[in-house]
Structure 1
Amino acid sequence: MTPQPGTPPRPSPIRRTLAILAGVFALAIILLIALWNWDWFVPTINRRASAALHRPVTVAHLHVQLGWTTTITLDDPHIGQPEGFTSEKEEFASARSLTIAIKPWPYLVGHGLTFPLIALDTPRGDIVALKDGRNNYTFTADGKPAPDDGSPTSLPHIDELRITDGDIRIALARLRSDFRLAVHTTPPADGKPGTIVADAKGRYAAQPITGHFVGGALLTLANAQNPYPVDLSIANGPTSVTLRGTVDDPLHFAGAQLNLKLAGPDMSLLYPLIGIPIPQTPRYSIAGKLDYTAAKIRFTGFDGHLGSSDIGGDIIVDPHQKVPFVDAALHSHLVDLADLAGFVGGEPGHTKAENTADTNVLPDQRINVPKLNAVNAHIAYHGDHIENKRIPLDNIDVDATVQDGAIDVRKLNFAVGTGTLASTATLNPAANNDFSTRFKLDVSRVPVTRLMKGAGSLEGQGTIGGHVTLSSTGHSVANLVANGTGGITLVLDQGGHLSAILPDLLGLQLGNALLSALGLPDRTPLQCFIADMPLKDGILSTNAFLLQTGDTRTTGDGTINFRNNTLDYAITTRAIHFTIASFPGAVHITGPLHSPTILPGAEIAGRLAATGALAAVFPPAAIIPTIQFGVGKGSACEQAVEQAYAHPAAGIAPGATTGPRPSAAAKAGRARTSGAKERKSAAEVRAAWEKKQQHNHQ
């Protein structure tokens, strides 16, 4: 039928059908959007997340707002503990809600993930690491850290991280640590960017710890153009650390401008915080610049004090080697050697408590092998001026390395006036955490005037020189000497004043007591001193010990036992010339090294008794026991020196350490002038010396 003019055409059945279907589909979409429940995906999310994280995961509800920026919210998410950690009282992680805003389009076109917002409401965490290496935060099937394939980790771009009322527990068994972090963020305000704030409280390295950290917002952290601000303060037991400044592009190790300050009663307590072992020290406070690159960590230009000494320098750490390497260049303008005692196994400072049970006179702190293996190091140290009440040292130079647990002291030198005390040592690891050790000290041309200056006198002349050697295996200075073999060979050339030297050589208490026991007056002129004493298995014996003044000759004989820190020694003084009112004979020094007993020998006691008896019978006769006829000048000193050169107990002849020895021509000239015979052989010298020693004891 032909449609009438003006009547609209009727739609075809196909069009009507398509229109109806489109309407039904649109209605279905509307109904689907209106009635859709995103919780239908929750079981799938729980199942797949649990399989991926190797622990149970549950989410109560899922909310999604679609758009160019899609927002996903998980209500009441919970992540349980993995196998092996189910006894923990808390879950691994939970929150009241987790909201993630994501921009899908940049990701779809290959520009990576962009998160305008990640928001955590009341997050809770429980981070645990066990002594066997397993932990609950690496998400591996066996609970052990996954191997590092060396590939760089790329992080998504996050515009804002928002944390409200966070509480995270961190328990690390190997570090003896269990503390909590209270974490929250602050929003931008008054033109200032937001911040991340964390407060720590608990125990770290078995010491109470409190800490406060304020850092820039995560947006700042990821922005390479803006330095990331850092403000950190930590109190770990008695140790305090503050770190303030900025970090340049921290995700790519571009550098930093940080001020670091460390203070506390003992630098060894820093080991858990910095991972670098340091010997015991007295109270310290140092501050300097901290910087880092992808290769090195640098603590430069630092200065401060260590006990009563000042300390400064630069420390550079390479943490990327198999064992971290530390290169330290240190200096002091004024140093008290007591502050450095911890570096040789002693107790630093002047406040050591008396311990009557400790009979060691040498440092006995055991070398900590595990800490020594934790780092390789090169240490250079110079002290401009030394404050020391015992021996007048002027300055100190140290150059030492630690490599694979071995210690190589290439240089440990002290200046003494125009002379030096120069020592070297090597300590190589041995069985039972011991060290095979070789030590050598060269005493070179140390002027007697410098020793006298330390005793308050500026007079005297001559130099002292020689060597000290030690070969041993042990675990501390005291133990090494107690097991050691070596010797001491020291020679004094041209003399000085005995009263100025003995207290410094033997210690103030023992030296002054010995001077009093020997009856030697103040400022006795010293013409010769020889000490040639071998050490075998920790026992120091005597080849020769001679002190000669203008009027007396004093010889020593006996042993010093470093195994049990005792001595059994006799000092005998004889007049060189005819003398009246003197009590010759041996003085016995026995007992513990730290508090020996000094008593007169039988000869002195007999003469004292005889004097008393004669005084009672006939007073003028009391002077008879005090008469000495003298042993004569002789050549005991020269012969002892020759013996020290021929058979030095230290294994090294004094050589030029006391000054250039006279040439053979000069010796021959003197011999011809005096009519003396040619120099005796070593055997003849030894025989003459032994004969003279016997004569002195008669």
Structure 2
Amino acid sequence: MDMRSGQTAPAASLPALHWRDRSRRWARTAWAPAWLERRPGPLRIAIRTIAIIFLTLFAIWLILFITKGRFLKGPFERFATSQLERNVDVGGDFQLYFAPLNIKFHAENISIANPAWAREKQFFTARKVDTRLATFPLLFGNRILRYADLDGARVALEWDEGNKRNSWTFGDPDRPPEPLELPRIRRAAITRSGLTYRDPKLQLFADIDIDTVRATGTRIDDDIRFSGRGTMRAQPFTLSGGLASPNETIAGGKNTLTLHAVGLGNTLDVSGTLPGPTELEGANLKLHARGGNLSRLFDFLGVAIPDTRRYRVTSALTYADEVWKLTGIKGVFGDSDLAGALAVSQPKGRVYLKADLTTRSLNIIDAGPFVGYDPQRLDTMGTGGTVQTVSGRPRLLPDAPLRVEALKRFDANVRYRVTKVRAESFPISHVDLTLALKNGLMELKPFNFVVAGGTVKSDISVDTRPARVRTEYDIRLSPTRLGTLLAGFGTEESGTTGTVSGRVRMVGLGDSVRQSLATSNGRIAFVLPQGTFWTRNIQLAELDIGTFVQKMFQDKLKKPVQINCGLIAFTVRGGVAAADPILIDTQKNVMLGRGGFSFRSEAIDMAVRADGKTFSLFSGQSPVGVQGYFAAPRIDPVSDELAGRAGAGLGLGILASPVAAIIPFIDPGDAKAAQCGPVLAGATAKAQRTSKGKPRDDVGRGTTAKSEDGKQTADGKEKQRKKFLGIF
């Protein structure tokens, strides 16, 4: 229809209209597929946008490839300086471009400044840096250098005096220090280069030189050799080794590492393979270490462990998930074996040590350094090395200080188990120790072992956070057979059925075992329930000569004597332990003890006497003295009282008759039997009662003599007495 006239168009014009429509459709499909015509408009826009971006990137790539990106030198320096907050300068040629997909970075005479506090002015300098950086992994935050060529490069790694800042933490100078993370390098060539490391707090200083020996035409293309020297705690050490990189034509080749280090009396050898020169993940190494003291080896990790005697260990060494693992450990320290596994990591920048170690047979001497004894003295003197003479007195307690500052720098969780301990006097076995260290608080919970068939359970905590180290002791002894316990001291098990249980609870201050005990306060108590003991031991204790000789001639020397109950307890104040009480009730007598000992001077000044419950014609009725020092105790059965009785008897014998000479030695048998309830409860002397329920006045009050002028004495009475323990 003609719109202007309202008339219908002639039929002949319709084919022409259809022809023009087909022409337009053909024109549109001449360059685009038909399926595109059927898609909505936004998809076409997206495809065209991607095409434009691709063309733009290609143009940038082409420009950079042609110009080598040299025009980016200034922007690079400004950008790097801003990001690192350190001055970055390139004094020579500079190239930054895609070749073809990897990023090529080339810089000559480049330098990165150190922070103002550092000893060295420059953190990094190099005559030439030529690298290939993988582009696509970089988009996801992974820095992988496919190739690195460094010439004349020097790196200065430093900690400040307080270990609060390091030179490789860039940006804000007040930010917490970060661990050192190396980029992953697949292949490298390093010539005339090196690095320095300074850690004043750890007292570790090292200078290492690195160079590459090319071996083109062999399986090994580059062999990076390194050698260095330094000091650790003022002791020199040296190291050397190499890292052989496979030829590029070798598919799947491994980098072979060899390392040999000597220092601080230790020799360390590491060999194996790495995925890349700086790729530790997947490392497969073998460690062999030997030397005079294993703790010196751990000093390199910033980890403080107890000293040891001479050692030798081997293990597999791997690195996975940011954890160094020593597995299959086998070796010896001193005369003891060692096996297990150990792992070292650094979560949140703090070293963490986790270990599970076992020993089948432990020589008691090898345990000495764990509590502070000098391993060198033990090597040369054996058990005699535990005793030193100070101011003319023997000293037994170890005085080696804890490395408090080192213990504050790392955390640990260590389990150590020992099947058997080789000791002369005590049969110890099945040691099970778990040590937990966190933020300066070290706990040995539990610390259990079996001695003479009884179990000792201990909880010990050492808090290094206060100004003075605070140690809490809680040691429990389950019922243990006296015959087995004292077998090493000449007591036979035959005829002895008595047992002993006990508990030690004390708190002390100081950074060594000696200082901690010398300032301790608390209580020590051992309970003897009902049982039997040899007659000979009882009679010797009371010096009942008549009964002892009579039983010896009647061949009843080993006849058991019934123990009703007993308590050997001490109250500890300021490192001085006073009997509170010593009270053993037997079938025929009551044994009482007074005095005490000192952790401060290690002196012992006690007296034990036995009063008979039955009449005895010949009885010394006099204390048996226990004196000397921890390292040299002595038994003195001839006391002043016994000598006085002997003198009195001699006088009566001269003045009266020989029969009168025995009068001072007659024991009327009036000893007060003990009420066993308070004894078995481990109560103090004030709570003790006779069998008739009356308070005892013969067991002291847990105090010691303080002077020579009539002040407080061991039994709480006013009397002249010698100076106790030489410390008051």
TM over 0.5: yes
Q: How does 1:541-690 map to 2 (within 5 A)?
A: 541-546=578-583, 554-574=591-611, 583-590=620-627, 592-595=629-632, 600-610=638-648, 621=658, 624-625=661-662, 628-632=665-669, 636=673, 639=674, 641-646=676-681, 648-649=683-684, 687=694, 689-690=696-697
Distance (whole Å) between structure 1 residues aligned to residue 141 and residue 346 of structure 2: 33
Asked whether the equivalents of residues 58 and 79 of structure 1 are also in contact (C-alpha less than 8 Å), the reply is yes
541-550 vs 194-203, greater mean Cα deviation: 541-550
Amino acid at match of 2:457: A
From 366, 375, 388, give the equivalent of 1:354.
388
Is the aligned partner of 1:190 residue 2:205? Answer: no
Determine the structure 2 residue equivalent to 1:256. 283
8 Å CA contact 1:577, 1:632 repeated in 2: yes
In 1, Cα distance between equivalents of 2:542 and 2:689: 36
The alignment partner of 1:414 has SS state of: strand
Q: Which amino acid aligns with 1:354?
A: Q
Aligned AA (1:100): D
Pair 1:515–1:41, CA change in 2 (3 A): farther
TM-score (normalizing by structure 1): 0.70
Number of residue equivalences: 610
> Is contact 1:277-1:374 (8 Å) kept?
no
AA partner of residue 289 (structure 2): L
Residues 288-325 of structure 1 deviation map (CA, whole Å, 9 limit, x = unaligned): 22223115332222121122221211223443256444
Within the candidate set 451, 459, 465, 1:424 is matched to: 459
How much has 1:280 moved relative to structure 2? Answer: 2.3
Q: Contact conserved, 1:396 with 1:414, CA < 8 A, in 2?
A: yes
Q: 1:489 aligns with which of 522, 526, 530?
A: 526
Q: CA deviation at 1:469?
A: 2.9
Check whether the contact 1:430–1:436 (CA below 8 A) recurs between aligned residues.
no
Q: Secondary structure at the match of 1:687?
A: coil
Residues 244 and 255, structure 2, Cα contact 8 Å, conserved in 1: yes
Q: Secondary structure at the match of 1:432?
A: coil
Aligned with 1:605: secondary structure?
A: helix
Percent identity of the aligned residues? Answer: 18
Structure 2 unmatched runs, 5+: 1-67, 702-716, 718-728
CA distance in 2, matches of 1:225, 1:110: 24
1:217 to partner: Cα distance: 2.5
Cα 1:296–1:177 change in 2 (3 A) is closer
d(CA) in 1 for partners of 2:140 and 2:483? Answer: 82
1:286 and 1:304 in contact (8 A); partners too:
yes
Which of residues 148, 168, 181 in structure 2 aligns to 1:138?
168
Q: Aligned with 1:394: secondary structure?
A: strand
Report how far residue 328 of structure 1 moved. Answer: 2.2
Distance 1:133 1:621, change over 3 A: closer
> CA 1:164 to 1:531, structure 2 compared with 1: closer, same or farther past 3 Å?
same
Q: Residue deviations 1:614-656, cap 9 Å, x none? A: 78x59983992487334549773xx2643312553499x9xxx
**3-state SS in 2 of match to 1:84:** coil
Mean Cα deviation higher: 529-538 or 120-129 = 120-129
Return closer, same or farther for 1:650/1:581 CA change in 2, 3 Å cut-off.
Answer: closer
Pick the aligned partner of 2:448 from 413, 426, 442: 413
Structure 2 CA distance for aligned equivalents of residues 109 and 634 of structure 1 = 92
- 1:424 touches 1:439 (CA, 8 Å); kept in 2? yes
Matched, 1:535 2:571: yes
Aligned-pair CA distance for 1:338: 3.3
Task: Tell whether 2:250 aligns with 1:231.
Answer: no
Give the TM-score normalised by structure 2: 0.68
Range that drifts further, 617-626 or 568-577: 617-626
Contact 1:46–1:59 (8 Å) recurs in 2: no
Name which of structure 1's ranges 478-487 and 332-341 shifts more when overlaid on structure 2. Answer: 478-487
Aligned to 1:474: 509
Superposed CA deviations along residues 528-560 of structure 1, whole A, max 9, x for unmatched, are 372332314243222442467898764311232
C-alpha distance in 2, partners of 1:169/1:108?
29
How far apart are 1:384 and its partner, in Å? 1.3
Determine the C-alpha separation between the residues in 2 that align with 1:429 and 1:86. Answer: 30
Q: Does 1:394 align with 2:432?
A: no
How far residue 571 of structure 1 moved from its aligned partner, in angstroms, is: 2.3
RMSD after superposition: 5.2
Give matches, 1:119-268, under 5 Å: 119-124=149-154, 126-132=156-162, 137-138=167-168, 140=170, 159=187, 161-188=188-215, 190-217=218-245, 225-248=252-275, 254-268=281-295
Counterparts in 2 of 1:573 and 1:682: CA distance versus 1, 3 Å: closer
* Superposed displacement of residue 584, structure 1: 4.1
Q: Secondary structure at the match of 2:241?
A: strand
- Asked if 1 retains the 8 angstrom alpha-carbon contact of 2:690 and 2:696, the reply is no
Tell me what 1:327 maps to. Answer: 354
Q: Give the Cα separation in 2 of the matches to 1:589 and 1:110.
A: 77
When residues 307 and 108 of structure 1 are mapped into structure 2, their CA distance, relative to the original with a 3 A threshold, is closer
Q: What does the per-residue CA deviation read over 1:453-478, in whole Å, with 9 as the maximum and x for residues that have no partner?
A: 66374523313222213142423444
* Structure 1 residue 100 corresponds to structure 2 residue 130: yes
**2:619 and 2:665 in contact (8 A); partners too:** yes
Render the CA deviation track for 1:586-620: whole Å, top value 9, x for unaligned. Answer: 244456544467654332122343566678x5998
